C-alpha cells in the first residue's frame, strides 16, 4: 500500500503546504495522508471487502473524522503511528 511505504514518517520542522514541489509533499504528517488512508478504508467498506469493521479501524476513522483532529495545527508522531498500525492491520488481515 503506497500510503505506508511511499510516504515519510518524519515530521519536518517547517510547516508543509500545497505550494511545495510534489516530491516534497510525501510526508505522513500531512493531514491529506490521514484522509487518504481513511478514504481507502471507506472504499473497502463500501465495496464490501470489509464486512465487519475492526475496533482499531473504527477508532482511527472516528479520530480522523473528529473535530479534535480537524482543529489540530500539527499532527504528532503518535498520530502517524496510529495510521501505520491501521495500515499494517489492514494489510495483514484483508
What does each of the 94 residues of the chain score in pLDDT, given as a tens digit? 567 888 999 998 877 766 655 556 688 999 999 999 999 999 999 999 888 999 999 999 999 999 999 999 999 999 999 999 999 999 999 8
Query: How many Cα neighbours within 13 Å face the side chain of 39?
Result: 7
The predicted structure's pLDDT at residue 16? 72
85 assigned to some structural domain = yes
16 assigned to some structural domain = no
Give the CA-trace dihedral at 77, 81, 83, 88, to 10 degrees: 160
Picking from 37, 72, 43, 70, the residue whose alpha carbon sits closest to that of residue 56 is 37
Q: Into how many domains does the chain fold?
A: 1
What pTM was estimated for this model as a whole? 0.85
The domain in which residue 83 lies consists of: 2-9+27-93
Residue for grid cell 503546504:
17
The predicted structure's pLDDT at residue 15? 76
Contact call for residues 66 and 47 (beta carbons, < 8 A): no
22 assigned to some structural domain = no
The predicted structure's pLDDT at residue 2? 65
List Cβ neighbours of 91 (8 Å cut-off, separation of 6 or more). 1, 4
**DSSP SS3 for 94:** coil
Amino acid at each position: 500500500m503506497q500510503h505506508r511505504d511511499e510516504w515519510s514518517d518524519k515530521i519536518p520542522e517547517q510547516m508543509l503546504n500545497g505550494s511545495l514541489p510534489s516530491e516534497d509533499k510525501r510526508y505522513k504528517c500531512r493531514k491529506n495522508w490521514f484522509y487518504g488512508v481513511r478514504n481507502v478504508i471507506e472504499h473497502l467498506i463500501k465495496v464490501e471487502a470489509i464486512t465487519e469493521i475492526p475496533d482499531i479501524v473504527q477508532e482511527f476513522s472516528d479520530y480522523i473524522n473528529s473535530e479534535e483532529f480537524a482543529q489540530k495545527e500539527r499532527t504528532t508522531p503518535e498520530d502517524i503511528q496510529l495510521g501505520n498500525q491501521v495500515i499494517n492491520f489492514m494489510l495483514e488481515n484483508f
